[in-house]
């Protein structure tokens, strides 16, 4: 049944895109991974008049997400960086953006339902209590650990419209959903995300780059304007930083382009945190920047401890 859903979605997208892609054996997977389709959808989303209430693509994204087919939902989530990026940068222009908002609200309410509106918390461990990974001799007063309960995502209320004071939260929660699906996201989507981080930061992070080779990179990146700068309250910045952490450190540097985009985004957001003099953000982004730098420095001289040492005499 989901195949037919995917086929329907594939067909209706074909009618929206300019270059109709040939029909596919595995429509759900093509929608998610086909670079040709992605680039066409991205181009449409970036179009200056996109995102209005009557935008066909937004309607398609909304309908596709509401199909409640997990594979198809991934397709919509895949385009979240682009949707959120264009949307947040364009909010200040007072353009009609109801199409984008409908998609974002759909993602938000999906997350609200699946979490039953509950907040996400972290119980920061206290090492004086024994854990599965360590022993402790301290007398264990039972369950005194909940002193360090941290709320990483507050409870969710249902929203039928995007009220502007809740905009950052709604996008932030949509990004939490994106983060939970991130292992399935194609690299292109993550790169788009990193590029929007830079735009949102509105700071040329490369100015912060230490030492050699900096000039060259600055010239390359001059194209990124400060136009996209948006307010970055913690409820938006925190999920952004979680996604960025994955882009930078989660994928084993398999993809050089993504890694570099993530490095640039980290530097930009670090610079922005300094501009905002936001201590929490300075700590988080600063550590990302330093970890990226450590990664580059230690790329060549890392000892592989799983390697068998070379010996002159081979014995039993």
Q: Which stretch binds another protein (CB under 8 A): 30-38, 44-52, 67-75, 87-95?
A: 87-95
Residue 212: CA atoms inside 13 Å, Cβ hemisphere, count? Answer: 0
Name the residue nearer to another protein (CB basis): 72 or 248. 248
Q: Where in 215-244 is the site for another protein (CB under 8 A)? A: 226-227, 229, 231, 233-234, 238, 241-242
- How far is it, in rounded angstroms, from Cα 292 to Cα 262? 9
- Give the shortest CB-159-to-another protein separation in angstroms: 7
- Min separation Cβ 203 and another protein, Å: 6
Separation in Å, CA 305 to CA 68, 274, 308: 46, 39, 8
Structure tokens at 181: 């699906």
The Cα–Cα gap between 130 and 146 comes to 14
Restricted to residues 89-118, the positions that interact with another protein (CB under 8 A) are 91-92, 94, 118
Judged by CB, which is closer to another protein: 210, or 222?
210
Q: CB neighbours of 202 closer than 8 A, spacing ≥ 6?
A: 226, 228, 229, 230, 272
Report, in angstroms and rounded to the nearest whole number, the Rg of the chain calculated over CA atoms: 22
313/283 Cα distance (integer angstroms): 50
Measure the CA–CA gap between 79 and 81, rounded to whole angstroms.
6
Shortest Å distance, C-beta 67 to another protein: 24
Max CA separation in the chain (angstroms): 77
Q: Which is nearer to another protein, 1 or 303 (CB)?
A: 303
**For another protein, which is the closer residue by CB, 27 or 228?**
228
The DSSP code for 23 is P
Shortest separation between residue 168's beta carbon and another protein, angstroms: 6
Q: What is the per-residue burial (b if ≥16 Cβ within 10 Å, else e) of 48-81?
A: eebbeeebebbbbbbbbbebebebbbbbbbbbbb
Q: Of 123-162, which residues contact another protein (CB under 8 A)?
A: 123-127, 129-134, 140, 142, 145, 148, 150-152, 154-155, 157, 159
Residues 162-191 that bind another protein (CB under 8 A): 163-168, 179-180, 182-183
Q: Given candidates 43, 122, 138, 296, which one binds another protein under the rule CB under 8 A?
A: 122
Binding to another protein (CB under 8 A): which residues in 242-301? 242, 245-246, 248-250, 252, 271, 274-277, 279-284, 286-288, 290-291, 294
Query: Could you say which residues in the range 22-61 bind another protein, by CB under 8 A?
Result: none
Minimal distance in Å, beta carbon 285 to another protein?
9
Minimum CB distance to another protein, residue 72 (Å): 20
């Amino acid at each position: 049944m989901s195949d037919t859903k995917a086929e329907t979605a594939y067909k209706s997208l074909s009618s929206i895109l300019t270059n109709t892609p040939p029909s596919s054996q595995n429509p759900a997977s093509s929608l998610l991974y086909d670079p040709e389709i992605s680039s066409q959808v991205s181009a449409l989303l970036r179009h200056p008049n996109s995102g209005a209430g009557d935008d066909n693509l937004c309607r398609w994204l909304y309908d596709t997400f509401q199909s409640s087919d997990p594979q198809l939902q991934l397709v919509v989530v895949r385009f979240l960086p682009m949707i959120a990026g264009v949307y947040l940068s364009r909010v200040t222009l007072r353009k009609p953006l109801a199409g984008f908002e409908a998609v974002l609200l759909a993602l938000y309410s999906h997350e609200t339902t699946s979490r039953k509106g509950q907040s996400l918390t972290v119980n920061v461990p206290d090492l004086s209590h024994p854990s599965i990974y360590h022993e402790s001799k301290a007398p264990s007063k039972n369950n005194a650990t909940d002193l360090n309960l941290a709320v990483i995502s507050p409870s969710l209320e249902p929203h039928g419209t995007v009220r502007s004071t809740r905009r950052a939260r709604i996008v932030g929660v949509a990004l939490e959903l994106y983060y939970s699906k991130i292992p399935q996201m194609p690299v292109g989507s993550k790169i788009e995300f990193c590029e929007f981080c830079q735009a949102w930061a509105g700071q040329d992070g490369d100015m912060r780059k230490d030492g050699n080779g900096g000039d060259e990179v600055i010239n390359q990146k001059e194209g990124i304007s400060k136009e996209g700068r948006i307010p970055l309250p913690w409820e938006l910045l925190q999920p952004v930083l979680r996604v960025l952490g994955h882009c930078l450190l989660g994928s084993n540097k398999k993809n050089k382009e993504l890694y570099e985009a993530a490095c640039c985004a980290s530097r930009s957001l670090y610079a922005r945190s300094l501009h905002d003099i936001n201590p929490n953000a300075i700590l988080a982004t600063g550590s990302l920047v330093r970890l990226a730098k450590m990664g580059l420095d230690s790329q060549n001289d890392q000892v592989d401890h799983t390697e068998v040492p070379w010996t002159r005499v081979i014995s039993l």
